Each structure stands twice: as structure tokens, then as C-alpha cells.
Amino acid sequence: MIWHITKKEFYQNLITARFIVGTILTIVLVVIITLILIEEYNLKNESYNNNLQQNENHLKDVYVYSEIESRAVKPPEILSIFHGGISRKLGNLVYVRRQEAPYQASDDVMDNPLLKIFQYVDIFLVFKLIFSLMALLFAFDLFSGEKENGTLKLMLSSRVSRAQLFAGKIFGGMLSLTLTLILGILIHLLVMILSPKVFITEEIVVRLFIILIITFFYTASFFIIGALVSTLTHRSATSLTMNLFTWVVLVIGLPNIANYAAERLKPIESIKIINEKAKALQKEFENKLDSYSETNPEPPGGTVISGSTDEYGGYYKFRRANLNQFKFYKHFIPFSENLRQEYADKIYSVRQNFLTTLKSQANFVNQSTIFSPVRMYQILIAIMTRTDLENHIDFLSQARIHRTQMLDYFKSKNAYRVTRFFTIMTEQEAPDVTSASVFQDGSEGDRIWERSSIEWEDRPHLSLEDFPRFIYKNESLSRSLQKALPVFSALVFFNVLFFALGFYCFTRYDVR
């Protein structure tokens, strides 16, 4: 009997205006937005490849060790086409230097001009809004409408039980919505497959299937809420009003209230204050370098610099240096680099507070709205598309590991104690002008200096084939499922709880 009621409800829904309009709107929006976001994905992918190439070009053009820096680049996530998540705001490029521990990422991708029309619009947003609204519009007159028409009393006067009628109408309505949902996911997948620059793997298909299941339960939660409201009212107009109010509260009101509360109760320390603390530590580091220089002054004798140098910043690029300077820097650089790493860790601790508070804010929002189907849906989709905050934090963690690999590379090459750290000239080639004046044209020291002239092209670049390259490790499907399981269980529990509550109210519903 339940199956007969389900089929009847399903076929009746297929010819309603709300089903036709909702389905057409879903398909049109999915196609348009997917095409736009595929273009954004292609831009990001192009930028990703450019960054990899620029990194290789830089490493091929390095003369001295102090020049070395690397780029940690996160490849664009294909499923960001479905949901951009927090990664859209926090970037996917980190410049990795020995001078500082990575604490934030930037995004140098040019904005897609089409997205200026659809700010932060993605498939997730379409599904979140359309399917929740469609579910309530399908369910608002599920029982109150039948009562107004007099058909509810007639059905229950036959051999149909209330349990069978309630289950059949719920299943029939959800079957209708599922048809639209499957069409939306399949069209989204088809548009991506037909795009020549988007490579779809088996894992992506599996993740989209899981997203389909998650969206089904998300839609079901609103449908069951609508059915519950319908069992509490006796007029369709009243039920529609209450359901629309519920939709506004759950979809728009509650998330914004939670975000507002998080900003007030878990405030993020302003970037200005964090930068001031970092600058204070940097100044402390510079003072210690100055103290060292006062105790161990750089020897006189004149240094001709071709290139650039910044003792505070850790950049040295001498074309030539005299013998005294070789001796000075061979002691100064190991001291300054050890001190630099010490203060890099201190500055990172200050910078880390920003991410810690950001995560604390996100946790507060999630915990305060954990029983909201909208919040659960958002958390689950971000996890399955790998665009959640935890994935971004993991990317920064991998960038810091890459920096550790860089520092280990310097140690393996004993880079801080070799002259190639700061100049292309060898110590044997350095002129000894300690007893000769180099401040007068034509002097003995000036002639010695001229005879030791070396140009950059006279020396080969550093061979950095064994220098570690950053390789981003994507979160595995099993890890995503492990993260999603508790929230998904809560979403299923939400559906079961409100289904039971709706059935309880229906058993006491006056059908006369």
C-alpha cells in the first residue's frame, strides 16, 4: 500500500508547476554556473602551472645560496567548481623562504570577470537554496491541503493506515525531489566531462555520488520539516507562511546570526596588532645583529658590491669581496642565520594566533548551529570538495614542512659556512688589500681590485637539481569520509527525529 501511495504522490508531483519550474531553474543555473566556474578553474590551473614553471626558472638562475627561495603551490581542486569554500578567500600560493615560517597564502589568479556578476555563487549555493525551498513548497500542503480538499478523510476511511499514508506521501515527495537532484548532479558532471581542460578521476565521481547522498538527506530534512508544519496546521496558506518563515530562519537568519556571534564572542586579533608584534620581534633581531657588528665590526678595506645585499633580510649577492670580508662573513653568516631561525619561530608563533583564532571562530559557528541542516550541509560539502578550513591549514602545514626540507638542504650543503652563500668569488681569488689604499684612483689597492674583476657570467649557476620541490599531498577519500561521518550521522539523526515527530503529530491530526 505504501508503494501505491508513493507512486501516486510521485506522478502527481511531476505535473505540478512547482516541480517543472524548480527542475528547469535547477538545470539552467547548474549549466550556467558550472561553465563560469570551469573558466575560473582553468585560470587557476594555468596560474598553478605558471607558478611551478617560475619556481623552476628561479632555481635554474640562482648564483648564491642566499638567493634560494621556493614556491609551495596548491593545485586547484576540481570540486571547487561545485563549492569554492574557504579556499577561495585564503589563496593557494606560499612563498617559502628560510627567513620566515609560512603562515598565510596568497592568490595571484586574476579574477574571473563573469564572477563579479555572481559573487560567491557556486553549485552548492544553488542546491542549498533551491532544494531547501523546493522541499518546503512540495511539503507545505502535504496534509493540510488534502484536508482542505476533503481527500485526507476519504483516504483514511479506507484500509489505509495513518502510518502507511504518512510514509507513502513522504517517500513520494522525496522521490520527486530526488529526480531533480539527480538531474542537477548528472548535468554538472556532464558539463565538466565535456570540458577539455577538466580531468575527471574515479575519485571525483565517487565524491560527487557522496555529495548526491548528502544533498538528498539535506533536502529530506526540509521536506520533513515542511510535512511536520503541515500536520500542525489546518490551512495550506497558514502552512505555507510558517514554512517560508522557517526557511528564512534556517537558511538565512541562523547562519548570519551565528557568524555575527562568532565575530563578537571569538574576535580575531587585528592584523595591525599582529604586524606590530611581528615588527617588534624583527626589530629585536636587527638590534642583536647590530650588537654583533659593534663587537665584531666589519673590517675596512672597501667592498665592491654588484647585485644586492641585505644583512637584516638575509640576502647577500656580492660579485666580489676582499679577503677580510671573506673572513668576516664566514663567521657572521652562521651567527646571523641561527639567530634568524630563532626569531622566525618567534614571529611565526605570533602569526599563528591568527589562524588559531580563525579556526576557533569556525568551530564556534559549527558548534552553535550543529543541529541546523544548513550548517551540517555546508560542513559536509566543504569536506567532500576539500575546500574546508582544515584542508587549507593542512596546506600551510605542508608548506612549513617544505621549509624544513629547505633548511635541511642548507645544512647538508654546509651552506652557511661556504663562500658561495654570499659571493661567486672563491676565497683563493679574493684580493688581499689590507695594506693597500682602495679609496684613491690609481692606488695599489685599486689596481689589485681591478685585476680581480669577476662577472656573473664567468661563473656557473648553482646546481639545484637535488633541491627539494614542493609536492602537495591531497586529502584522501578515506580521511574525508572519516571527518564527515560524525556530521553526516547528525544529519541522518535530524531526519529520523523529525520524521518520528511528524508521524507522532499526524497520528493526532484532526482530519475532519
- For the segment 220-261, what is each residue's pLDDT rounded down to a tens digit? 999 999 999 988 888 888 888 998 998 998 888 887 787 777
Grid cell digits, residue 331: 663567521
The CA-CA-CA angle for residues 396, 398, 404, to 5°, reads: 110
Q: What pLDDT is stored for residue 445 in this prediction?
A: 52
Residues 336 and 381: their CA atoms lie apart, in Å, by 47
* HSE toward the beta carbon, residue 512, CA cutoff 13 A: 1
Q: What pLDDT is stored for residue 107 in this prediction?
A: 63
More confident residue, 1 or 205: 205
Q: What pLDDT is stored for residue 440 in this prediction?
A: 47
Q: C-alpha 501: how far from its chain's center?
A: 38
Per 3-state DSSP, the chain is made up of helix, strand and coil in percentages (nearest 5) of 70, 5, 30
Is residue 119 left, alpha or beta, with left meaning phi > 0 and alpha meaning psi from -120 to 50?
Answer: beta
Residue 446 has pLDDT above 70, yes or no: no
Burial class (CB in 10 A: 0-12, 13-18, 19+), 320: buried
Model confidence at 271, pLDDT cuts 50, 70, 90, reads confident
Long-range contacts (CB closer than 8 Å, 24 or more residues apart) made by 334-338:
334/416, 334/417, 335/292, 336/289, 336/292, 336/311, 337/98, 337/416
Grid cell digits, residue 334: 652562521
Least confident of 293-307, 412-426, 428-442: 428-442
The mean predicted confidence, pLDDT, of the chain is 85
Model confidence at 469, pLDDT cuts 50, 70, 90, reads very high
Least confident of 57-66, 80-89, 266-275, 471-480: 266-275
86-125 pLDDT, tens digit per residue, is: 777 788 899 999 999 988 887 654 454 444 444 568 899 9
* Domain boundaries of the chain, sorted by first residue: 271-363+407-458
Q: What pLDDT is stored for residue 273 in this prediction?
A: 83
Q: What pLDDT is stored for residue 339 in this prediction?
A: 93
Using an 8 Å Cβ cutoff, are 421 and 64 in contact? yes
Q: Please give the average per-residue pLDDT across 353-377, as a whole number.
A: 78
Residue 509 has pLDDT above 80, yes or no: no
The three-class DSSP label of residue 195 is: coil
Q: What pLDDT is stored for residue 364 in this prediction?
A: 76
Residue 269 has pLDDT above 70, yes or no: no
pTM metric for this prediction: 0.86
Q: What pLDDT is stored for residue 453 in this prediction?
A: 65
Residues 107 and 204: their CA atoms lie apart, in Å, by 24
Residues 246 and 283: their CA atoms lie apart, in Å, by 55
Task: Return the amino acid letter for 79.
Answer: L
Residue 433 has pLDDT above 90, yes or no: no
How much of the chain exceeds pLDDT 70, in percent? 89
Which residues, at least 6 apart from 257, have a Cβ–Cβ distance to it below 8 Å?
none
Paired with 57 in beta bridges are none
Residue 155 has pLDDT above 80, yes or no: no
How much of the chain exceeds pLDDT 90, in percent? 47
Q: What pLDDT is stored for residue 115 in this prediction?
A: 44
Q: Please give the average per-residue pLDDT across 322-343, as a whole number.
A: 88
Residues 384 and 484: their CA atoms lie apart, in Å, by 8
**H-run or E-run covering 24:** helix 17-60
Radius of gyration of the chain (CA): 33
Q: What pLDDT is stored for residue 307 in this prediction?
A: 53
B/e letters for 355-389, b = 16+ CB within 10 Å, e = fewer, are beebeebbebbbebbeebbbbbbbbbbbbbbbbbb
Using an 8 Å Cβ cutoff, are 373 and 381 in contact? no
Q: What pLDDT is stored for residue 120 in this prediction?
A: 67
Long-range contacts (CB closer than 8 Å, 24 or more residues apart) made by 506-510:
506/143, 506/162, 506/166, 506/231, 507/162, 509/143, 509/147, 509/231, 510/234
Kindly report the number of other CB atoms within 10 A of residue 263's CB atom: 13
Q: What pLDDT is stored for residue 114 in this prediction?
A: 44
Grid cell digits, residue 473: 599531498
Model confidence at 184, pLDDT cuts 50, 70, 90, reads very high
Residues 39 and 50: their CA atoms lie apart, in Å, by 16
Residue 304 has pLDDT above 70, yes or no: no
Grid cell digits, residue 379: 560542513
Grid cell digits, residue 500: 518520528
The CA-CA-CA angle for residues 71, 356, 371, to 5°, reads: 115
Q: Please give the average per-residue pLDDT across 61-75, as a whole number.
A: 92
Least confident of 14-18, 24-28, 310-314, 400-404: 310-314
Model confidence at 447, pLDDT cuts 50, 70, 90, reads low
Q: What pLDDT is stored for residue 365 in this prediction?
A: 74
Q: What pLDDT is stored for residue 448 in this prediction?
A: 58
